[in-house]
Chain A
Amino acid sequence: MTLQTTVASAEPYVPGRARSDVRRKILLYSLYLVIAAIFFVPFLWTLTTSFKTIPDSVNVTFFAHPWTTSAWRTLWNDYDFPTYIKNSVFLAVVIVTCNLFLSALGGYAFARLRFPGRELLFLLVLGTLMVPDQLRLLPIFLMMVHWGLYGSFWSYILINLVSAVNLFFMRQYFLTIPRDFEEAAKLDGAGYFKTFWRVMLPLALPAMAALAILQFQGVWNDFFWPLILFGQGNPSHYTLQLGLANLHFNYGTLWPEISAGAVIAILPILVIFLAFQRFFVSGVVSAGVKG
């Protein structure tokens, strides 16, 4: 190994390298731009379509002609999108807050506090990752009907209070924090909750930021559980994704309106993604299963 490194550190001289390098670069960049276009153009196309008139939306032109905000106004005034947005934001904020608190609390307990049966209970936590939604859907539906919570926000909040992925993620993070901090707090006479709240939680902020972002995205994008729990009920509980799906089911060719809805569905996630890319990527890699 050492031999290889020393040999390799001497740059081998290759004639004509500079020119082929430039050509290679140009080729690579054009390739990237083509791929980036394939990944991006559909979204830009959607954005411009949302400013088209309905007859114009069947024309295969990129720019709207004439340019109108009529689709946006229709969504706002005739299709209850403000309610859908409000519902989605409400659910996302409540669920992110609950997950932050509960998974940090639980993660800390499993990382640091000793109690009988801890390993067994932790296996139970990991085991929940194996239980697929297609098995849970019917029992949870029936439980919610039985408890009179079917069709209410409570049902969705309850099943999403805390997730095993998040708890596992927080536990792993707490395990990387040196014990010195807690011991110092203990010497100062801080109790368990105070140590957790005042010492450990601030240290875990980077992990919590990643968790908050991924959980927000999860709730904002979720279609399956809102469909099960309030998809058949009254539209006043529709989330943004349900509202958009409903628009698509009922008015499948109102392309400007649907495009505007899709833009609203994507925009907050795009903004968060651009602002916090680092957390997004590290979170996805370490949470793994979330992919």
Chain B
Amino acid sequence: MKKIVLAAALVLLLGGLIALPLTQVQDNITNLVILVFLYVMLSSSWNILGGFTGQTNLGHAAFFGLGALATRLLWLEGKWPIIPSIMVGVGAAVALALLIGLPAFRLRGVYFAIGTLAMGQILNVTVGNVLPEISAIPPKDLATYALLPRYYVFLALAVVTVVAAYVLANSRLGLGMMAVREGEDAAESLGVSALQHKLLALIISASLAGLAGGAFAFYHVGYYPSFPFGPTWTFDSVMVAYLGGTGTVIGPVIGSIFYVVVKELLALRLADYHLIIFGALFVLVVLFMPGGLVEAWSKIRKVLTHGGAPTPPPQPAKREAGPLAKERSELSE
């Protein structure tokens, strides 16, 4: 029963999202929803490696940027249709994942994080040096620029990303990834290859980030080619995933909606301070609520269903205090 309700709600939501731009809604609302889709793709894809598999990737922008770069070059310079261009962009991101995957996973834990951070910066600086010119949609094409196809591309790709994360989370492969997160040695001892699972997680994560990059290249009118390689995109992905709840499918989606909506609300009054506020929120989440909004919600629900009173912990059955028990308690002191 619960499942049917959930499925109906999802269908309704999807129908609403499909119909949204057809109603006479303002362009800036459409743009905001597109931004939500972009963050959903970025944070969900980061979450597959960072949340499910427990490997903190601080070079996520490299895959996003490479997807955007390849797509943009083929689509604008090569006059390719957009869909094959995006596919090549995904291929480029996967190629980078394969290239750095093996050496990167020789690095454990923190070294992986700072290694990927360095890789992201290498690509960021290099692309900025090689392609210093702004990449803009030519004026004659700009006349026919329409928001509607962009919106649907973003919607479709965001749905693909979330569905991929959902299928993965409930698959044997996904469970293996989570086992690697919980304890690499323990997972290995049960026959789960840590390296193989980490590599696959990186490849899936990178391909979805490349997909997001392709959509970005299709959407944006003019930007510097190094812009999507900027570290901000990595930090945004990490922050949004944590705000929503890492390691869950729904967390990055909630985080993205929260991030875009709150940022927009802050823009009315405190535009200059939104990064300070989100930085502080992020710190608070990591310190006090590592499960993000998803954890907060489940806590609130628990309080509501138990009427606010915490359930008393089960009392251990009292045993007869025999001489042996006394001796034991003395020993343990």
Q: Do A and B come from one complex?
A: no
Interface residues of A (CB under 8 A from B): none
